[in-house]
A and B are shown apart, each in its own frame.
Chain A
Amino acid sequence: MKARKSIAELIDDIRSGGAVKIRSAARLMTLAEESSAKTIEILSSLAGDSMPRIIFGITGAPGSGKSLLTGRLIEEFCKRYPERMIGIIAVDPSSPFSGGAILGDRIRMMQHASDEKVFIRSLATHGQVGGVTEGTRGVAAIMGALGCDMVIVETVGVGQMEFAVREVADTVAIVLAPGQGDTIQFLKAGLMEIGDMFIVNKADRPDAAQFHAQLSNALPLLGREDLNAHLVSARDNVGISGFLGTLEEVFVRDHKQWETARQKYLEMLVKRAILSEASKRLEIVLEKQENITQKILKGEISLSSCLENLIKKLK
């Protein structure tokens, strides 16, 4: 049995380009998911490596067709750019009870599993809300270092309040399907505000055209008259090619702004990692204080002096 390799060794493997490249990249992704500190170590080590040209987020309610749509986008991407690599990060929920998960987004993409130009990685949320994981950006960077031109981040099936994909992706499409409400749903705050693009999937269904018209009429009311809602059918592979074309246009128009946004996000990740590490370390010290919560509740010690004490003990 082989000993576990360090982050630096795994990165060397990726750069060396041998047979072990894919395996080491996959192992590195596991580490990126383990802690925010490791994500930052990986991101800083890969700072000079190539990054994905486009990090594209796909989000929407469970069952709206995100995975099949992603599968179709892979197909179209490979047809259009046979020499380029594409990476997929597919997030599914962890159980709040056992911590386990069934990661099944790949099912809709398996025809690409033996394609060397396609790297699909499933991630579980591990109790994080927001629709993607803390390590997602690290995984995207590793895909970039492998040579992925585009990375698609498919979120968990979301409700109205999962926005984290907006931070990690350059641009986000919201997938909707007929039957998911009327104009008033489109006007509500939350998810609908974070879309840079809208996709109405399941065009094969009879009520899709009406739903698409309602959404198109609502977009100006949202102040998004610049946007089109794309009517597609992932099932019948209709409208996918046109959508990929639009995505490329958006890249040409916006990629300079994306660069700035990426930099800001990375800095925010570093701050979060520092705070998360600090909180974990404080927790260890806190656990060693006997009856501290009782003492605070009884007013024997104030919360802020307790905190001062904990911080002193950290040194």
Chain B
Amino acid sequence: MTENTEKKNPIRLLIGKVGLDGHTRGVYYVAHIFRDAGYEVIYPGLRQKPEQIVNTAIQEDVQAIGLSFLSGAHIPLTQEVLRLLKEKEAEDIPVFCGGVIPDDDIATLINMGIKLVFTPGTSDKTIIEKVTALLAGDSHEGA
């Protein structure tokens, strides 16, 4: 018998906040919608250092990192996260962002290597669909 009896476990995501930013509402909401969409969400708590985020992502073998911001520090902090991912040979883990991010910064973030940026008012459906599509193109998920 060679039929496949493997079941796929849910996709694991790290959803977190980095830096001095205590606004939890958005990150809780996003963690919750991913949970309800069948994802496993690793939530590491508030005020994380970029290094803690990257180490957690690696130890937890997540397929993507989602970072929430309301501090205005989204550019330097995501830059540091991306740099550390590269340093630890984990730059294949995609990073997406959400929160209060000015329009002018979106292109900057995308150019830096952030895969998706969600601003206030984005529907839960859009967030799930876009992240799911992003990960469907990821070899980590396939064979």
| Given known contacts A35-B7, A110-B45, A100 and B59 CB-to-CB distance under 8 angstroms | no
**Looking across the interface, which residue of chain A has its beta carbon closest to that of B47?**
A110
Q: Which of A89-120 contact B (CB under 8 A)?
A: 94-95, 97-104, 106-107, 110, 113-114, 119-120
Instruction: From A4, A23, A30, give the contact of B143 (CB < 8 A).
Output: A4
Interface size on B, residues (CB 8 A): 42
| Residues of A with C-beta under 8 A to B1 | 281, 314
Q: Which of B32-65 contact A (CB under 8 A)?
A: 32, 34-45, 48-49, 51-52, 55-56, 58-61
Any A CB within 8 A of the CB of B88: yes
A95 and B36 contact, CB distance less than 8 A: yes
| Given known contacts A19-B88, A98-B37, A103-B42, A121 and B32 CB-to-CB distance under 8 angstroms | no
Any B CB within 8 A of the CB of A297: no
What interface size band does chain A fall in?
35 or more
A281 and B43 contact, CB distance less than 8 A: no
| Residues of A with C-beta under 8 A to B49 | 114
Query: In the docked arrangement, what's the CA distance between A128 and B9, Å?
Result: 13
Interface centre among A2, A19, A94, A101 (most CB of B within 10 A): A101
B36 and A110 contact, CB distance less than 8 A: no
| Residues of A with C-beta under 8 A to B43 | 102-104, 106-107
Query: In the docked arrangement, what's the CA distance between A285 and B92, Å?
Result: 39
Query: In the docked arrangement, what's the CA distance between A27 and B140, Å?
Result: 10
| Residues of B with C-beta under 8 A to A184 | none
Q: Which of B84-128 contact A (CB under 8 A)?
A: 88-90, 92
A114 and B55 contact, CB distance less than 8 A: yes
Instruction: From B6, B34, B59, B140, give the contact of A119 (CB < 8 A).
Output: B59
| Given known contacts A113-B44, A121-B59, A4 and B10 CB-to-CB distance under 8 angstroms | no
* Distance (whole angstroms) from the CB of B116 to the closest CB of chain A: 17
Any A CB within 8 A of the CB of B138: yes
| Given known contacts A3-B139, A124-B40, A280-B5, A100 and B56 CB-to-CB distance under 8 angstroms | no
Instruction: From B5, B40, B140, give the contact of A94 (CB < 8 A).
Output: B40
A100 and B36 contact, CB distance less than 8 A: yes
Instruction: From A2, A34, A100, give the contact of B38 (CB < 8 A).
Output: A100
B40 and A100 contact, CB distance less than 8 A: yes
Which A residues fall within an 8 A CB radius of B? 1-4, 19-20, 22-23, 26-27, 29-30, 33-35, 94-95, 97-104, 106-107, 110, 113-114, 119-122, 124, 126, 277, 280-281, 284, 314
Which B residues fall within an 8 A CB radius of A? 1, 3, 5-10, 12, 31-32, 34-45, 48-49, 51-52, 55-56, 58-61, 88-90, 92, 138-140, 142-143
